A and B are shown apart, each in its own frame.
Chain A
Amino acid sequence: MERLVFDAAALLAMLFAGVMVVSRDPVKSVLALVVSFFALAVCYVMVLSPFIAGLQVIVYAGAILVLFLFVLMLLNVGREQPDGMPRPIQTVLGSLAVFVFAGLLLGMLRASGSKIPLLTDGLDPVEMARPAELARLLFSDYLLHFEAVSVLLLAALVGAFVLARREDAP
């Protein structure tokens, strides 16, 4: 049952990811990715990470992709127009490489994870999904990371400010 849900959600995510890639219209792309991310959120729930699934919906689908959409609108970028300059090398080599890569990667992943079910040693799934435990870890073992990310966010903030600020600002 769970597997079915997971697989269905994963397939959906892949499907819309594919749409995102294939679509020439960036807006459609973004929207496809939103759907894909929602499906991914379902997957996250199925792998015992409801908190992350929430973040996924709120931060990713809700904030980040909206930001994308916003920028798309701002820049008024239209559909990708064929520019009359086919780039066969990029396309052919790229596709070929992706296939080889996918083959190798999926082969490896299948082999390495096929026999292992999630939560084999009978840990409590509820315990796994509890945000409080996450919070504890975040402020103990991962305290430094947490602080470091704050610097990262600060840098990103300042950076975005530098780049997007009006020209006449000092």
Chain B
Amino acid sequence: MNDSFVHFTHADLLSIAPEIALLVAGCLILLVEAFAPALRRWFATIALAGVAVSLYFLVNAPAGTTFGGRYDTSPLTVFVGLFLGAAAVLAILVSRPYLERAGEERGEFYALLLWGHLGVSLMTRGLDLILIFIGLETLSLAFYVLAGFFRRVAASSEAGLKYFLTGAFGSAFTLYGIALLFGASGGTKLEELVRPGLGGNPAVAFGLLFLLVGFGFKMSLAPFHAWAPDVYQGMPTPAVAYLSVAPKGAALLVLFRVFSAVFQDGLPDRFRAGLAALAILSMTLGNVVALAQRDAKRLLAYSGIAQMGYVTIALVVFGRDALAAALVYFCAYLVSNAGAFAAVSALYRDETKAHPVALLAGAGRRAPFAAAVFALCLFSLAGIPATAGFIGKFFLFKAALEKGFYALALIGVANSLVSIGYYLKVVYILYMRDPVETEAPPALALADRLALALCAAGILAIGIFPSTVWEVARHAAATLPFAGP
């Protein structure tokens, strides 16, 4: 019992300064929209500034925990925060020209994006199940709305509905899982999960599995993936660029945290096998079905499902090194996947219609830069060396092989081969098919150009000089709290 009713220290404030910055930036945008609509061209700038300030505070926050051990400011969260921030920056950059083209340049889009980002941030930094859940819900609510943002477009509204219904369904399981874990551990803090024998409790097993499906849903891990293609297709592309990257990373981190808190001595065999099954199913289903896709965004959705299959291998392998590998993988995935969506956003003229891949025919000539970056992103997703994607797979498979998961690694590479089929198909359409559309596309906006350039630079930088990102990721992963030795 303290004297003051409200406990609040300076460190606490500093630690949530990044989130406050995001919140403020979002509010500022709304205020500008309400009172100075003429300044709408500055929305993106304000949003970027908000993210920048948030990242500044994030990086400068003292390492440790705050709010009585409920909030994490360790290097791990800094790393993940930077990753999320990068995704947000890319999404915002792409949003500006995208919304302009769509004639929907509204402040709410940015505000919701920022607040969704805030939610993800809470997910990754919260060391308390309920805080994680609140973060998850903040993210979800913001993105339910973003999915249906184009109210004029039926597909967008439908995406909103589907995302909402499945998302709420998944959240209910997450919540029930939290309840079970709470019942078994007596608290909502993750540290309370660190208790000998807890792993053998059936209620805990149920709770963990509920959490797994809830966060697996966010990761679009098969068989919890079904929403992703539809939602990606209907959702405004910049939001997809964010949604397809950041929450997935956050969800995996949460799973890592919870599982390593409960299972101090490594994953039980059944869990490992179950996770491996999810990984294999996800890779295989994602890749095989992606082969049959005709819509660029759906294709990328399935590709994302497959990619999550790969990265789940890290969870199977378990341990800090595996987490480091997953972090590197996510960095690679960020630049490649966000880049791909940025390219999709830049390459299609009509934002409100479908995005058939066939329409990209001849894009290599019409929009050489965007097409080149798109191709680079696809090669990276396919894991061709000298790109970031290769580095991601390199560390991932290394981690798997080190722990003796040979079959998983083999299935992984076999799947890579399948995936090349559809990645190359897109490249083929970009460069080798005669165009159906003869009209020259609008000149690439500066922001698009910047986003694409950033992604390309990221892909090549990670691909060619991976040692920095690996070192940082390893350092970050070493601070995973509550994990066993």
Contact = CB atoms under 8 A, between A and B. Distances in A.
Q: Do these two chains interact? A: yes
Interface of A: 104-105, 108-109, 111-113, 136, 139-145, 147-149, 151-152, 154-156, 158-163, 167, 170
B112 A140 contact: no
B141 interface: yes
Given A141-B68, A151-B23, A151-B118, A162 B131 contact: no
Interface in B102-134: 106, 108, 111-112, 115-116, 118-119, 122, 128, 130-131, 134
B137 A152 contact: yes
Interface in B1-44: 2, 5-8, 12, 16, 19, 23, 27, 30, 33, 37
Summarize A's interface: helix, strand, loop or mixed. Answer: helix
A93 to B, nearest CB: 13
B395 interface: no
Summarize B's interface: helix, strand, loop or mixed. Answer: helix
Contacts of A147: 16
A144 B20 CA distance: 11
Interface string B62-76: 000001101100000
Contacts of A136: 5
Contacts of A170: 33, 37, 106
Size class of the contact patch on chain B: 35 or more
A131 to B, nearest CB: 14
B144 interface: yes
A170 B206 CA distance: 48
Contacts of B119: 151-152, 155
Contacts of B141: 152, 155-156, 159
Interface stretch (B145-153, B258-266, B368-376): B145-153
Contact of A139 (B6, B135, B206): B6
Given A151-B23, A158-B112, A159-B108, 12 more contacts: A108-B202, A140-B2, A144-B67, A145-B128, A148-B131, A148-B134, A155-B115, A155-B119, A155-B138, A159-B112, A159-B145, A163-B151
Nearest to A108: B202
A110 B473 CA distance: 44
B216 interface: no
Of A109, A140, A147, most buried by chain B (CB within 10 Å of CB) is A140
B201 interface: yes
A140 B130 contact: no
27 contacts: A108-B203, A112-B201, A139-B6, A140-B6, A141-B68, A141-B70, A143-B6, A143-B7, A143-B8, A144-B12, A145-B128, A148-B131, A151-B19, A151-B138, A152-B119, A152-B141, A154-B27, A155-B115, A155-B138, A155-B141, A158-B145, A159-B142, A162-B112, A163-B145, A163-B148, A167-B151, A170-B106
B5 A162 contact: no
Contacts of B37: 170
A104 B206 CA distance: 9
Contacts of B138: 148, 151-152, 155
B160 interface: yes
B122 to A, nearest CB: 6
A112 B130 CA distance: 22
A154 B142 CA distance: 10
Contacts of A111: 202
B151 A144 contact: no
